[in-house]
Amino acid sequence: MTEVSDRIVSAAAATVRRRFAHVPGAEVLEIDGLVVSLSNLPDPSLNATFVEREPDDAATALAEAEFEMRRRGHAMGLDHPVGWFPKLDAAVRDAGLELVESRPAMTADVASLPDAVVPDGVRVETVSTREESLALAAVDAEAFDGDLAISERAFAPAVLGVEGVCGLLAWDGDVPVGSGMAVLHAGAVGIFGIAVVPRARRRGIGTALTLAAADAFPADLAWLLPSEMARSMYQRLGFRALEPWEIRVRREPPRS
């Protein structure tokens, strides 16, 4: 594993620990190098297992993570980099988990990123009040066609007053139209949830939010796991693709 990739793996694990520590009812389980992050909300994307290091016994660790997720009512979900943890990769293949998404980790040297240019009439501000945190959740739900109640429970507590976490809102006048989150770990800033409501897209708001997130903390490295739709935007900004990260799931319980 390269130094940059190693920093991203560590930062991803630290990020889920930090975010879910502030979500009521959430849990983070540590299982032999795996980090099982459970919001315990009815959204599969908010209940997943990440890898921090190669497990000593990958097959057993994976099975235990699946057991803990299943007994809480969640389907198994694993989000991990491919190729860096051979024993885990083999265990994933043997377990028969279904591939649902593959996207590259992307990184940029913060100093090399361009200055943010905010569209006319728009301002990007840090979330600092309870009302603003709820506005961030509302933008996220609208932009990703999600459930507002879930977004409020999962995101609002995680962006307000949490050390190393910065929530961002883009305002068009007095109306919130974009949101994002930055999370700092060991000099690497992770960029998450860049979202723009449909009526405000194609104006450069997503770009402005991304650059604001990269500049939210003193850091040398910015990283993210992009959606297919947003990947070209990040490439234009200077982010480069590294190894792929795969999301694998088991939709049905394994047969005994």
What does the pLDDT look like over 38-63, one tens digit per residue? 999 999 999 999 999 999 999 999 99
Q: Is 256 part of a structural domain of the chain? A: no
pLDDT (0 to 100) of residue 106? 98
- Co-location of 91 and 125 in the same domain: no
Asked if the model's pLDDT at residue 254 lies above 70, the reply is no
Q: What is the pLDDT of residues 174-197, one digit of tens each?
A: 999 999 999 999 999 999 999 999
Mean pLDDT of 217-225: 98
Handedness of CA 80, 34, 162, 110 (dihedral sign): negative
Mean pLDDT of 113-121: 93
- Co-location of 97 and 168 in the same domain: no
- Co-location of 126 and 218 in the same domain: yes
The count of other CB atoms within 10 Å of the CB of residue 49 is: 25
Structural domain of 131 = 109-243
- Co-location of 147 and 238 in the same domain: yes
- Co-location of 92 and 114 in the same domain: no
Q: Which residues pair with 207 in a beta bridge?
A: none
Give the domain CATH number at 48. Answer: 3.40.630.30
- Co-location of 99 and 144 in the same domain: no
Q: Is 47 part of a structural domain of the chain? A: yes
Q: Is 166 part of a structural domain of the chain? A: yes
- Co-location of 39 and 135 in the same domain: no
pLDDT (0 to 100) of residue 252? 73
- Co-location of 15 and 116 in the same domain: no
Q: Is 97 part of a structural domain of the chain? A: yes
Asked if the model's pLDDT at residue 163 lies above 60, the reply is yes
Q: How many domains, in total, are found in the chain?
A: 2
What span, in angstroms and rounded, lies between the C-alpha atoms of 219 and 141? 29
Q: Is 113 part of a structural domain of the chain? A: yes
- Co-location of 9 and 88 in the same domain: yes
CA distances from 51 to 73, 79, 80, 105 (A): 21, 8, 6, 14
Say which residue, 161 or 142, is predicted with more confidence: 142
Asked if the model's pLDDT at residue 256 lies above 70, the reply is no
CB 49 within 8 A of CB 97: no
For all residues of the chain together, what is the average pLDDT? 95
Residue among 158, 156, 157, 199 nearest 177 (CA) = 199
- Co-location of 140 and 93 in the same domain: no
pLDDT (0 to 100) of residue 255? 55
Asked if the model's pLDDT at residue 253 lies above 80, the reply is no
Asked if the model's pLDDT at residue 79 lies above 70, the reply is yes
pLDDT (0 to 100) of residue 228? 87
Q: Is 160 part of a structural domain of the chain? A: yes
